[in-house]
Structure 1
Amino acid sequence: MTIEAKTVDEYISKLPEDRIAAVSKLRETVKSNLPEGFEECINYKMIGFVVPHSIYPSGYHCDPKLPLPFINIASQKNFIALYHSGIYADSKLSDWFVAEYSKHVKTKLDMGKSCIRFKKIEHIPYDLIAELCQKMTIKDWITLYEKNIKG
């Protein structure tokens, strides 16, 4: 499910009715808990939280015109997804999240390398997502990104 939108509010307005509240709450959870410096935008046709060029002028190595991505939220065909680049880049953070997930949700974790999939809206662990967002500052993310990309 690709949503064409220029702003985050437009993206949310185009969601199926049954997803608007959950995506909005997930967005607010991320916004309220990310350390200072990250910027919200539409990124890769999803809600994105990025390191702006004003902080990291090099941008994303795959396309330097784009800001460095960190977290994305998307409404996909069969689930709501949270993409967290820190989980992909930091195995300790990923291990922490996997261990904590079962303390918050009774169903099995459905996760890829950076994608956490929520097939049932009622199983989104907003408190855990809030804690995850607080675990990495913008400086931490840039340092980890450069270590992994530039060696």
Structure 2
Amino acid sequence: MEYNANSVEEYIEVLPEDRKQIILQLRNVILSNLPEGFTEQISYGMISYVVPLTRYPKGYHVKKDEPLPFLSLASQKNYIALYHMGLYGNKEIEEWFIEEYTKRVTTKLDMGKSCIRFRNLASIPFDLIAELCRKITVDDYINYYEKTIIKK
């Protein structure tokens, strides 16, 4: 689902009431735990955390004039999604996350390459998401991105 919003506040405002508090809580966890250097904005109709062009002028290889995407948060039709590009292709982080998730959450992990889908909103592991946010700095992500994603 894509919401037509120009700001994070507008995005949150148009959410259904049952999603608003969860998104606000997730946003707070992300903002409180992301390393310095990422910025928050609306990208692709979602709340996104990016490496700004002022920090990484090369931009996103798909669209050079766009900041490098790192993490996004979205309210979809049947779930809340957390898109974390640090999980994409990074086996060490991915394996850590899967192992920790299964220790902390009784519901089955629903995850794609970079997308974690939360269908049961009562079982979102906020503490684990906080740890995941702290795992990768801006410099770590830029280095990883240049070594793996761009070279493909």
Q: Equivalent residues in 2 for 1:2-151 (5 A)?
A: 2-151=2-151
- Would you say the 8 A contact 1:89–1:145 is kept in 2? no
Distance 2:42 2:67 in 1: 11
Runs of 4+ residues deviating >4 angstroms:
none
- Would you say the 8 A contact 1:111–1:117 is kept in 2? yes
Distance 1:145 1:123 in 2: 31
How far residue 150 of structure 1 moved from its aligned partner, in angstroms, is 3.3
Identity %: 56
- Would you say the 8 A contact 1:4–1:45 is kept in 2? yes
Distance 2:149 2:114 in 1: 16
- The runs of 5 or more residues in structure 1 that have no matched partner are none
Distance 1:150 1:112 in 2: 20
TM-score, scaled relative to structure 2? 0.97
Higher helix share: 1
Question: Alpha carbon RMSD of aligned pairs, Å?
Answer: 0.7
- Would you say the 8 A contact 1:89–1:144 is kept in 2? no
Distance 1:88 1:34 in 2: 17
Distance 1:3 1:28 in 2: 20
How far residue 89 of structure 1 moved from its aligned partner, in angstroms, is 3.0
How far residue 149 of structure 1 moved from its aligned partner, in angstroms, is 2.7
> Residue 113 of structure 2 aligns to a residue in which SS?
coil
How far residue 102 of structure 1 moved from its aligned partner, in angstroms, is 1.2
- Would you say the 8 A contact 1:51–1:69 is kept in 2? yes
Aligned length: 151
TM-score, scaled relative to structure 1? 0.98
- The runs of 5 or more residues in structure 2 that have no matched partner are none
How far residue 78 of structure 1 moved from its aligned partner, in angstroms, is 0.2
